[in-house]
Amino acid sequence: MIDLHTHLLPGIDDGVKSLDEAVKIIKSGVSMGVTAICLTPHLLSNFRGCNPGAIMETYSMLQNKIIQEEIDVHLYLGSEIDLRDDLNPLREFSFFFINQTKKYLLLELPLGEIPAFTEKIIFSLIVENLYPILAHPERSLTKDKDFERIEKMARSGALIQLNAGSITGDFGKKVQKVSEKLLEKDIVDFVASDTHNLNSRPIIVMAEAFRIIERLLGEQKAMKLFKENPQKVLQAENIQRKIPLKYS
Ligand SMILES: [Fe+2]
């Protein structure tokens, strides 16, 4: 499995507090089949997410620790971008895109109300052949109208990432139901842990979510959501979907 969405850079955001904690979480992921992890600190938030120096320094510290401890995992860098009405000032950051792909970026909608400018931002990225991956939209969907908006965004080219914990019911029944509905509509592209620490949204939930999706939709679909699609993102390759994306 490949985990595209994690908060494992110590002290950078509301994720792990120490290097030891990050290593413990990574080891637990590796023990149940995670082979690659993308670190996605919150960008443009109240944390240190807009401090490129701190992010790069912490990333290389974690990389070194992984090598030192001979942990069999590949680390990549990206960010979880808080949705704003203008993302252009952030483009200069090397971690704006996932693994510097210049193609895929992880975009977080606010919990609660989805702002009116959301479609404008998403469509403006898509016309540039940039593909926003909406981070856990199932957690923001409280109204039917919002569900339709997300569905339309997905059909226009936005990619959808569900949290593993949403599938297992860790965010409550309502979020679990919305997740199932998105899966039924076949507009989900990835499942990731969004792990923040050893207790909150642990990376090991990935294995449980994989089994649920395997049971509901088959092994092939589970492999696509947990491995093949994330792999394509990391390598900046095109993703095959029933609803085609308009790649140039
Ligand atoms: Fe996150």
Q: Domains of the chain: which residue ranges? A: 2-234
Can you tell me the mean pLDDT for 81-97? 91
Question: At 246, is the pLDDT very low, low, confident or very high (cuts 50, 70, 90)?
Answer: low
Ligand 1 centroid – CA 151 distance (Å): 21
Range 222-231 average pLDDT: 98
**Cα(199) to centroid(ligand 1), Å:** 15
Please give the average per-residue pLDDT across 179-190, as a whole number: 94
Write down the pTM of the prediction.
Answer: 0.95
pLDDT tens digit sequence for 45-71 = 777 667 889 999 999 999 999 999 999
State the pLDDT at residue 192: 98
Taking every pair of Cα atoms in the chain, the longest distance, rounded to a whole number of angstroms, is 50
The pLDDT of 38-44, averaged and rounded, is 94
Rounded percentage of the chain residues whose pLDDT exceeds 90: 81
List the shell of residues around ion ligand 1, using CB closer than 5 Å: 80, 194
- What distance in angstroms lies between residue 194's CA and the mean position of ligand 1's atoms? 5
CA distance 152 to 126: 13
Q: What pLDDT is recorded for position 56?
A: 95
CA dist., res. 41 & res. 77, Å (int): 9
What's the CA-to-centroid distance between 43 and ligand 1, angstroms? 10
Q: How confident is the model at residue 204 (pLDDT cuts 50, 70, 90)?
A: confident
Using CA atoms, how far apart are residues 6 and 40, in angstroms rounded to an integer?
5
Distance in Å, CA 13 to ligand 1 centroid: 10
User: What number is the average pLDDT over the span 102-113?
Assistant: 92
> What's the gap in Å between 184 CA and the centre of ligand 1?
24
Please tell me the CATH code under which domain 2-234 is placed. 3.20.20.140
Q: What is the DSSP string of 37-82?
A: EEE--EESSSSSTT-HHHHHHHHHHHHHHHHHTT---EEEE--EEE
- Please check the confidence at residue 35 and state whether its pLDDT lies above 80: yes
Question: Which residues have C-beta within 8 Å of that of residue 142, sequence separation ≥ 6?
Answer: 112
* 6 CA to centre of ligand 1 in angstroms: 6
Average pLDDT value for residue range 128-155? 91
